[in-house]
Amino acid sequence: MGTRILQRIIIPAVNCLRTNHHNVLSHNERAIYANVANFTVVRNYAKSKDKGKDKKGKGGKVEVNVAAISEVVPVDKMKERCNAAIERMKADFAKNLSLRSTTGSMESLRVKFEGKDYELQELAQIVRKNPKTIVINFASFPQAIPNALKALQSSGLNLNPQQDGTTLYVPVPKVTKEHREALAKNAKALYIKCRDSVKDVQADFIKKVKKQSSVSEDVAFNVSKQINAICEEYQNEAKHIYDVKHNELVGN
């Protein structure tokens, strides 16, 4: 309709002005031109306002109503799984990321023995003899010593074990810049593992919501947004724990 008005009235009127056949537009023509122009401006202005509203609304904080979404998904179980991922990361940090080598950082090293993978603590007794030396006794499984040596040397813990019969003596290494950087790298890997675990929980519960035929599309969308918000809080918590540990390891 707008195009026809432009073609039939406004464009001919402009042409008339150019050719001097008419000095002015008629009263009706001016009114129609003004209405079309005003309509275009108002419509564009409305679009601009709408866009502004969309941008303003996007990324806003989602209000979580646990009681409401608990009727659709088991929120307690979701939080339990997210908490478990963070607790695992914290335990791994404490066990494996000490600036000084500890027995705990060695216990979980994987050692191949008779075709299977074992933790070092399953094959040997690990004790700290003094602040500078850790002793690993392989009296029960002396055949595992060659692979245990390889595991210790390639652990990234800057270890240089010395063998004496069925016993390995491991000097506690000095804290070097390279050692700090290696630990920081391991910390990041553990953090990413935790973050991805939380994301898996997030995806799992959103999938469960969408599978429920009794839940409307609008409700499913709203619940999914709240699940995202809850899981993002756990991801932020994991990131904060990692940042603190990273700064500790690199000496910031």
Give residue-wise pLDDT tens across range 79-108.
999 999 999 999 888 877 876 666 777 888
**First-residue to last-residue Cα distance in the chain:** 68
Give pLDDT, residue 143: 95
For 216-250, the pLDDT digits (tens) are 999 999 999 999 999 999 999 999 999 999 998 88
Q: Which residue has the tokens 């001919």?
A: 12
Q: Which residue has the tokens 């245990």?
A: 148
**pLDDT bracket for residue 180 (50, 70, 90):** confident
Dist CA 25 CA 33 (whole Å) = 10
Give pLDDT, residue 195: 97
Q: Is the pLDDT of residue 35 over 60?
A: no
Report phi then psi at 138, rounded to 5.
Answer: -105, 30
More confident position, 242 or 51: 242
For 53-81, the pLDDT digits (tens) are 444 444 567 788 888 888 899 999 999 99
Residues 119 and 158 in one domain: yes
Q: Is the pLDDT of residue 17 over 60?
A: no
CATH code of residue 164:
3.30.1360.40
Give pLDDT, residue 100: 64
Residues 123 and 146 in one domain: yes
Give pLDDT, residue 155: 79
In a domain, residue 239? The reply is: yes
Residues 149 and 191 in one domain: no
Averaged pLDDT score across all residues of the chain: 79
Give pLDDT, residue 60: 64
In a domain, residue 215? The reply is: yes
Enclosing domain of residue 28: 2-57
Percentage of residues of the chain with pLDDT beyond 90: 47
For 103-123, the pLDDT digits (tens) are 777 888 899 999 999 999 999
Q: Is the pLDDT of residue 26 over 70?
A: no
Q: 157 near 173, Cβ under 8 Å?
A: yes
Instruction: Using DSSP, state whether 133 is helix, strand or coil.
Output: strand
Instruction: Using DSSP, state whether 178 is helix, strand or coil.
Output: helix
Q: Is the pLDDT of residue 5 over 80?
A: no
Name the pTM for this structure: 0.58
Dist CA 149 CA 133 (whole Å) = 16
Residues 161 and 119 in one domain: yes
Total of domains in the chain: 3
Q: Is the pLDDT of residue 215 over 60?
A: yes
Give pLDDT, residue 57: 44
Instruction: Using DSSP, state whether 2 is helix, strand or coil.
Output: helix
CATH code of residue 229:
1.10.132.20
Give pLDDT, residue 131: 81
